Amino acid sequence: MKKRLVMLLLLLFAAMVIAAGVGAVTIPVAEVISILLGRIPYVSKWIPNMGIENAYATIILQVRLPRILLAVIIGSSLAGAGATLQGLFGNPLADPYIMGISSGAALGATIAISFKLPSVIPGLSSVPQAAFLASIATMTAVYFLAGASGRVSMDTFLLSGVVVSSFLWAVMSFLMMVSGDSLREIMMWLMGSLSNKGYAHVKMAAPYVGFGICVLIVMARDLNLLCLGDDEARNLGVDPLPAKRIIVFASSLVTAASVSVGGIIGFVGLIVPHTMRMVVGPDHRLLLPSSIIAGGIFLVLADTIARTLIAPCEIPVGVITALVGAPFFFYVLKRRKR
Amino acid sequence: MRLDAFSICHRYDIITAVDSVSVSLESGEFIGILGPNGSGKTTLLRVLAGVLKPCAGAVLLDGEDIHKMPPKLVARKIAVVAQNGYIPFPFSVRDMVMMGREPHLGRFSRESRRDTDVVSQAMTATGITHLAKRSVLDLSYGERQRVIIARALAQEPGILLLDEPTSHLDPGYRMEIMDIFKSLSRRKNIGVMAVLHDVNLASQYSDRLILLNHGRKVADGLPEEVVTKENMESVYGVDTVIQTHPVVGCPHVMLVPGSRASGQVEG
């Protein structure tokens, strides 16, 4: 069990190294590694000084690394939230956006872009801030519309999410129609992109994602029982209602945080957990951490393709995840059948 | 260990499913619950398991109100084998049985040697050791049922509540599974309460039978006292011939065909 997670972590590091080396300027692997590890306290002592060009260090640390970190954060949260919700709904088709969080974030971003809202946090545009607030508001609305204070079934939750989400999409469509020249910017955001992002975005998303992911991992065993149904969970000692509340809250939080900084990147939250379930099995104690790491790997690689394939132009990473993800998913399904 | 229910009522909206029923179950006892469809058997069992709150009455587990106990503590004492539920993901048989250890594990603790041992024993007792690594989704209905029983045993309960544990099983499996339960109640001194559809099976395995109709308890006693021509007629609306089982000695019901004309009997 631990071996597989360590393997995945090594793969994640390898993906980050590749991503940091590839681009307008290609940087050799050895130098990338020493620049990256040289920044970690304690580890840096063991890294020989290879007389690396300062320009390389600047490119990696100032330009590529924040974007890579963001890809890790977003990929991990989407895959983690996806695995969680698939377990909670007992349905492999669930994804992080199923409860309408993405539509909230989309409306928030659209409002910020079309009304050119001022920023509250210095060094960060108003778009992620508005998106985050709006998605949290949406999550709260969905929760209360579903009557979550009393007994609530996951079906009611889903329906409530669908209703809220279609309402918000309608408002957003109207805003897009009257937005005029900011339309392109809104579209780019909707497709999901990691371009023009920096450490400010990483700092904004990281605390929520870190906290939420820890909560989800702690709840992994409960998730194993909850996917068998409320009665079964209860008979095996897990009180379903509070456990579901915690899980829905944590997965919404990580989704909201990552959507607000990265836009609506599709497919990661659906196929990464699904693929990992085929590789490591359905036990959430292993499935959740593996999905979280694999989500990071997947998005780092997808984003690297997104920025290099037709450089200097950028493809929205959401386009890549769907283009690469769908055939890969097919391959996994087919291989699974044997 | 004992489970006592005092005049329990339960309503679904305006429909009364269980109407002031009292039952008690002690260690080592095997109680069968009989009754026609919709007579409140499953509801009663869910109330006894602490899943449903009764609208009146109380369920005491060793003197403590089960609906005020944390589910984790209840699950250490009571295990439930429900009707085969939906399993969305291909858990391995071993993982599935290990879920029975959940009530004994702390939030951050990992499975200990003892947990592994208990799981192995439970799998041996139900004869599924050879299936350990298979996915539960690939198993036959009878095998899957044994996995769920093994999971219940892994909880190391003092009381087992069973909801039609043998429906959909062929006679061979049916007997095998009932034998497992019977020997558990004898050897491990577990109190078993089973909702059963098959009157003969219930009569054959139970120390005591409880007969429900329209949510009320209409008979409670030894199989000979409950499985009578009159009770079968009034509760199921069928004409029967009751004989004594030549081997076991319990009452055995034979239906007289055509005795229940449509519209003649309510419910």
Print pLDDT tens along chain B (267 aa). 899 999 999 988 888 888 889 999 999 999 999 999 889 899 999 999 998 899 999 999 999 999 999 999 999 999 999 876 788 899 999 999 999 999 998 888 788 899 999 999 999 988 899 999 999 999 988 888 889 999 999 999 999 999 988 877 888 888 888 998 998 888 889 999 999 989 999 999 999 999 999 999 999 999 999 999 999 999 988 888 899 988 888 999 988 887 776 555 444
Q: In this structure, what CATH number is given to the domain that contains residue A233?
A: 1.10.3470.10
Instruction: Give dist(CA A143, CA A158) in Å, integer.
Output: 10
Q: A68: domain range?
A: 2-337
Residue type, B83: Q
ipTM for the assembly: 0.88
Residue B25 · residue B100 · CB < 8 Å: no
Contact between B99 and A236 using a beta-carbon 8 Å cutoff: yes
Q: How far is B152 from chain A (nearest CA, A)?
A: 9
Long-range contacts of A214-219 (CB under 8 A, 24+ apart): A215/A246, A215/A247, A215/A249, A215/A250, A216/A80, A216/A81, A216/A84, A216/A247, A216/A250, A216/A251, A216/A254, A216/A288, A217/A288, A217/A289, A217/A292, A218/B107, A218/B108, A219/A84, A219/A243, A219/A246, A219/A247, A219/A250
Structure tokens, A134: 């709006």
Q: Does B165 touch chain A (CB under 8 A)?
A: no
Residue A247 · residue A222 · CB < 8 Å: yes
Global pTM reads: 0.88
Instruction: Give dist(CA A65, CA A40) in Å, integer.
Output: 13
What is the SS3 assignment for B4? strand
Q: Does B87 touch chain A (CB under 8 A)?
A: yes
Q: Does A238 touch chain B (CB under 8 A)?
A: yes
Q: Does B221 touch chain A (CB under 8 A)?
A: no
Place of tokens 């992002």: A197
Which is nearest to A333 in space by CA: A288, A280, A274? A274
Q: What is the DSSP letter of A192?
A: -
The structural domain count of chain A equals 1
Domains and CATH numbers, chain B: 2-255 (3.40.50.300)
| Shortest CA distance from B73: residue in chain A | A237
Chain A / chain B CB contacts < 8 angstroms:
75
Residue type, B209: L
Instruction: Give dist(CA A210, CA A184) in Å, integer.
Output: 32
CA A146, A150, A156: angle at the middle one, nearest 5? 30
Q: Does A337 touch chain B (CB under 8 A)?
A: no
pLDDT tens-digit readout, A154-171: 778 888 888 899 999 899
Instruction: Give dist(CA B96, CA B80) in Å, integer.
Output: 14
pLDDT tens-digit readout, B179-232: 989 988 888 899 999 999 899 999 999 999 999 999 999 999 999 999 999 999
Residue B129 · residue B123 · CB < 8 Å: yes
Instruction: Give dist(CA B17, CA B151) in Å, integer.
Output: 29
Which is nearest to B73 in space by CA: B146, B159, B12? B159
Q: How far is A236 from chain B (nearest CA, A)?
A: 5
